[in-house]
Chains A and B, each alone.
Chain A
Amino acid sequence: MNTWQIKNLFDVHGKETELNVEAGLFVDQFSQDAQPQTIDARGLTVIPGLVDLHTHLREPGREDAETVLTGAQAAVAGGYTAISAMPNTLPVADTAGVVEQVYRLGKLHQLCDVYPIGAVTVGQKGEQLAELTAMNQSEAKVRIFSDDGHCVADPLVMRRALEYVKLFDGVIAQHAQDPRLTENAQMNEGEVSSKLGLKGWPAVAEEAIIARDILLTEHVGSRLHVCHLTTAGGVELIRDAKKKGLNVTAEVTPHHLLLTDELAGSFDPVYKVNPPLRTNKDVAALRAGLADGTIDIVATDHAPHPQESKDCEWSAAAFGMLGLETAFSICYMTMVKNELMSLSELVDRMALRPAQIARYENQGEIRTGNRANFALVDLNSSWTVEPEQLKSKSKNTPFAGMELPAVIEKTFHNGALVFDRRG
Chain B
Amino acid sequence: MKNLLSIDDLTKAEAIEILDTAVTLSNLSETGVKKFPTLRGRTVVNLFFEDSTRTRISFEAAAKRLSADVINFSAKGSSLSKGESLKDTAMTLQAMGADAVIIRHNSSGAAHRLASQKWIDGAVINAGDGTREHPTQALLDAFTIRRNLKNDQGDLKGLKVGIVGDILHSRVARSNVLLLSKLGAEVVLIAPPTLLPVGVDSWGTSVSYSFDEVIGDCDAVMMLRVQKERMEDLFFPTEREYSRAFGLTKDRIAMMKESAIVMHPGPMNRGLEISADSAESNKSVIVEQVANGVSVRMAVLYLLIGGATTRDLETHLGENK
Contacts and interface: CB of A to CB of B under 8 A. Distances in A.
Determine whether A and B are in direct contact in the complex, meaning some CB atoms lie less than 8 angstroms apart. yes
B110 A196 contact: no
Given A193-B197, A194-B200, A314-B108, 9 more contacts: A194-B203, A195-B174, A197-B108, A202-B198, A313-B107, A314-B109, A314-B110, A315-B106, A315-B130
Interface stretch (A57-65, A184-192, A231-239, A325-333): A184-192
30 contacts: A191-B199, A192-B199, A194-B200, A196-B108, A197-B129, A197-B171, A198-B108, A198-B131, A198-B132, A199-B131, A200-B197, A200-B198, A202-B198, A266-B112, A267-B108, A267-B110, A267-B116, A268-B113, A268-B116, A311-B87, A312-B86, A312-B87, A313-B107, A313-B109, A313-B113, A314-B110, A314-B113, A315-B107, A316-B85, A316-B107
B320 interface: no
A308 B85 contact: yes
Give the size range of B's interface with the partner: 20 to 34
Contacts of B198: 189-190, 193-194, 200, 202
B315 interface: no
B202 interface: yes
Nearest to B200: A194
A197 B132 contact: yes
Given A267-B113, A312-B85, A313-B109, A193 B130 contact: no
A196 B168 CA distance: 11
Interface in A247-273: 266-268
- Minimum-distance CB pairs A-B, first 6: A267-B109, A197-B132, A194-B199, A194-B197, A197-B131, A191-B199
A197 B202 contact: no
B264 interface: no
Interface of B: 85-87, 105-110, 112-113, 116-117, 129-133, 171, 174, 197-200, 202-203
Nearest to B87: A311
Contacts of B133: 197
Given A194-B203, A196-B132, A266 B108 contact: no
Contacts of A267: 108-110, 112-113, 116
Interface of A: 186, 189-200, 202, 266-268, 308, 311-316
A311 B117 CA distance: 9
A266 B117 CA distance: 11
A205 to B, nearest CB: 12
B203 A195 contact: yes
Contacts of A193: 197-199
Nearest to B110: A313
A313 B105 contact: yes
Contacts of B112: 266-267
A303 B112 CA distance: 25
Contacts of A202: 198
B199 A190 contact: yes
A191 to B, nearest CB: 4
A200 B197 CA distance: 9
A316 B107 CA distance: 8
A194 B113 contact: no
Nearest to B5: A267
Contacts of A191: 199, 202
Nearest to B170: A197
Nearest to B233: A183
Contacts of A315: 106-108, 130
A385 to B, nearest CB: 20
Contacts of B203: 194-195
A198 B106 CA distance: 11
A316 B171 CA distance: 19
Nearest to B105: A313
B42 to A, nearest CB: 26
Nearest to A314: B109
A19 to B, nearest CB: 48
A283 to B, nearest CB: 17
Contacts of B132: 196-198
A195 B203 CA distance: 8
A319 to B, nearest CB: 15
Contacts of B87: 311-312
A107 to B, nearest CB: 38
A193 B132 CA distance: 9
B202 A313 contact: no
B86 A313 contact: yes
A195 B173 CA distance: 10
A195 B202 contact: yes
Contact of B107 (A189, A195, A314): A314
A186 B106 CA distance: 13
A12 to B, nearest CB: 42
A241 B129 CA distance: 43
Nearest to B85: A312
The CB with the most chain A CB atoms within 10 A, among B109, B117, B202, is that of B109
Nearest to B114: A313
Nearest to A315: B107
Contacts of B199: 189-195
Interface centre among A190, A192, A196 (most CB of B within 10 A): A196
Contacts of B109: 196, 198, 267, 313-314
